[in-house]
Amino acid sequence: MRLLSDADVQRLLPDPSRCVELASEALRALADGRAEVPPKPAVHLSDGSFANAMPAAWPERNLLGCKWISIFPSNAGRSLPTASGLMVVNDATTGLPRCVMPAESLTAARTAAVSGACIAALAPDDGRVAITGAGVQARSHLEVLAALGRTEVVVFARRAEAGHELQAWAARHSPETSVRVVGSAREAVEGAGVVVTALPIGLTGVELDAAWVREDALLLPLDYASSVGHLLASASTLVADHLAQFAAVRQARGLPAAYPDPVGATGALLGAGTRPAGRITCQNLGNGLSDLVVAAAVAGAAEAEDVGRRLDPGAA
């Protein structure tokens, strides 16, 4: 068994374009029923923190693995990541653990890659990209957007300091991208062809007004229903990356009762060949298969380069 550090994962991640390809393939496999991905079970703590197990198997690609990730919103006040976890990639022939890696950089890359797959297939050709939130997801999305040639980005930062830090990061890591920081979601969203919402899940009072959103915009809410509420979702073609997971999240009250049902799976829409008219909302709530395809690429690169610490999984 090979143990990687987060620095190892960052170095071994496929480039953003390849991550987008892997995410698109995973979304289509989910839609086609070619992979086994149960709704992720969750356990909760009294302060609103929770953790998910995210197993996945893709037999035709001989892939097996599971991500364990915790969400602790209170960590923001401790200067700690709000999301942390581990990813295990198994040998699908023997079941033995093949590689264990931290989930932070993996999750950021996977989430942005799923958005990138949707943008590549479903976004209107014109218009800038709006991102609400200036944290980790904004950074990973900027890398994917640059790979897709989407280099005009407006970011709503709730804290001016976070916005300045993001601009400084972009100047170093994505210099071809123009990042303008604004102080309101409306200013960021109006006129944007793509809207990525990355505010905290469960945050209230931040729903986007449909009047701000272009009639043909692609909406990618990473924050569940915090920003894209039921009214805006109802005024669009709504799809989800994993329909069973969508139903489970609604049942657990992670989405409001009034939230509409998706008309189908994100992967099916990616493979349709034509973009439906009007707004599109992709409620990509996170699925273990998207993590697994990227993690397996990292594990393969680690094995090829002999990176990480070798451990005996049977040792006490």
Average pLDDT over residues 300-316: 86
Task: Provide the CATH number for the domain around residue 262.
Answer: 3.40.50.720
Residue 312 lies in a domain: no
Q: Are residues 64 and 116 in the same domain?
A: no
Does residue 32 lie within any of the structural domains? yes
Q: Report the DSSP beta bridge partners of residue 71.
A: 50, 83
Position 313 in a domain: no
Residues 261 and 155 in one domain: yes
Dist CA 301 CA 289 (whole Å) = 18
List pLDDT tens digits, range 190-245.
Answer: 999 999 999 988 889 999 999 999 999 999 999 999 999 999 999 999 999 999 99
225 and 185, same structural domain? Answer: yes
What's phi and psi for 74, nearest 5 deg?
A: -65, -15
In angstroms, rounded to a whole number, what is the distance separating the alpha carbons of residues 16 and 14? 6
H or E stretch including 155? strand 152-156
Round to whole Å and give the CA distance between 84 and 235. 34
Instruction: Please give the distance of CA 314 from its chain centroid, rounded to a whole number.
Output: 34
- Quick one: what percent of the chain has pLDDT higher than 70? 99
Q: Domains in the chain: how many in total?
A: 2
Quick one: 64 and 182 in the same domain?
no
Mean pLDDT of 34-51: 90
The answer to the question of residue 237 being in a domain is yes
Q: Is 175 found in the same domain as 159?
A: yes
pLDDT at 265 over 60: yes
228 with 208: CB under 8 angstroms?
A: yes
Same domain, 37 and 112: no
Q: How many residues does the chain have?
A: 316
User: Using one digit for the tens of pLDDT, what is the confidence trace for 25-40?
Assistant: 999 999 999 999 999 9
Predicted confidence at residue 222, as pLDDT, reads 96
CATH number at residue 18: 3.30.1780.10
Average pLDDT of every residue of the chain: 95
Q: Please indicate, yes or no, whether residues 282 and 293 belong to a single structural domain of this protein.
A: no
The answer to the question of residue 314 being in a domain is no
115 and 228 share one domain:
yes
Domain-located, residue 316: no
pLDDT at 46 over 90: no
Tens of pLDDT, residues 137-167: 999 999 999 999 999 999 999 999 999 999 9
156 and 56: one domain? Answer: no
- Report whether pLDDT(99) > 80: yes
User: Which pTM was predicted?
Assistant: 0.95
Q: By C-alpha distance, which of 254, 251, 249, 199 is closest to 48?
A: 254
Any domain includes 232: yes
Which domain does 52 fall in, by range? 2-106+289-307
**Same domain (yes/no): 86, 122:** no
pLDDT-derived band at 79 (thresholds 50, 70, 90) equals: confident
Same domain? For 230 and 135 the reply is yes
Res 316: pLDDT: 46
Amino acid at 309: R
What's residue 17's pLDDT?
97
- Please indicate, yes or no, if residue 44 is contained in any of the structural domains: yes
> Does the pLDDT value for residue 254 go beyond 90?
no
Contact (CB, 8 A) for 236 and 213:
no
Residues 218, 282, single domain; the answer is yes
Angle between helix 160-173 and helix 136-147 axes, rounded to 10 deg? 40
* CA torsion, ordered 119, 122, 123, 126, to nearest 10 deg: 130
Q: Is the C-alpha dihedral spanning 109, 12, 28, 38 positive or negative?
A: negative
What pLDDT, on the 0 to 100 scale, is given for residue 15?
Answer: 97
